[in-house]
A and B are shown apart, each in its own frame.
Chain A
Amino acid sequence: MPQIFHRSTNFISRLTIYGAVVILGALGYALYAIAMSPWYTEQYVKRQQPVPFSHRHHAGELGIDCRYCHTSVEKSSFAGVPPTQTCMTCHSQIWTNASMLEPVRASYRDDKSLEWIRVNALPDFVYFDHSIHVAKGVGCTTCHGQIAQMPLTERAGTLYMSWCLECHRQPEKYLRPKSEVFNPYYEPPSGAKQLELGKKLMAEYHVQSLQTCSTCHR
Chain B
Amino acid sequence: MGCSKLRTELVPGIPAARGNARSACSLVRVVTVACMGAVAMLLLGCRMDMHIQPKYLPYEPTDFFGDGRSERQPVPGTVARGQLRLDELMFSGRENGVVVDKFPFPITQADLNRGRERYNIYCTPCHDYSGTGRGMIVQRGFPQPPSYHIQRLRDAPAGHFFEVMTNGFGAMYSYAARVEPADRWRIAAYIRVLQLSRNATIQDVPEADRQKLTQQSAGQASGQSMGQSQ
Which residues of A approach B to under 8 Å, CB–CB?
62-65, 67-68, 71, 78, 80-81, 83, 85-86, 88-90, 92-94, 111-113, 115, 123-125
Q: Top 6 A-B pairs ranked by shortest CB distance?
A: A124-B53, A123-B51, A65-B121, A78-B58, A89-B173, A94-B141
Which single residue of chain A is at the shortest CB-CB distance from B174? A85
Docked-complex contact A93 and B125, CB < 8 angstroms: no
Docked-complex contact B51 and A92, CB < 8 angstroms: no
- Whether B178 is near chain A, meaning CB under 8 Å from some CB there, is yes
Which single residue of chain A is at the shortest CB-CB distance from B173? A89
Docked-complex contact A125 and B178, CB < 8 angstroms: no
B46-57 interface code vs A (CB 8 A; 1 in, 0 out): 000011110101
In Å, the complex CA distance between A86 and B179 comes to 12
In Å, the complex CA distance between A80 and B51 comes to 21
- Nearest CB of A to B202, in Å: 31
A-B contact pairs, 8 of them (CB 8 A): A62-B136, A63-B136, A68-B125, A78-B59, A90-B142, A124-B51, A124-B52, A124-B57
In Å, the complex CA distance between A93 and B125 comes to 14
- Nearest CB of B to A182, in Å: 8
In Å, the complex CA distance between A65 and B137 comes to 13
Residues of A within 8 A of B137 (CB): 62, 90, 94
In Å, the complex CA distance between A94 and B136 comes to 12
In Å, the complex CA distance between A208 and B55 comes to 30
Q: Which of A71, A85, A112, A123 contacts B173 (CB 8 A)?
A: A85
> Among B1-9, B61-69, B81-89, B146-154, which stretch is in contact with chain A?
B61-69
Residues of A within 8 A of B59 (CB): 78, 81, 113
B142-163 interface code vs A (CB 8 A; 1 in, 0 out): 1100000000000000000000
Which single residue of chain A is at the shortest CB-CB distance from B137? A90
Docked-complex contact B69 and A68, CB < 8 angstroms: no
Given the interface contacts A62-B125, A115-B61, A124-B50, does A94 sit within 8 Å of B171 by beta carbon? Answer: no
In Å, the complex CA distance between A183 and B173 comes to 26
- Nearest CB of B to A193, in Å: 27
- Nearest CB of B to A153, in Å: 16
- Whether B140 is near chain A, meaning CB under 8 Å from some CB there, is yes
- Whether B208 is near chain A, meaning CB under 8 Å from some CB there, is no
Docked-complex contact B55 and A124, CB < 8 angstroms: yes
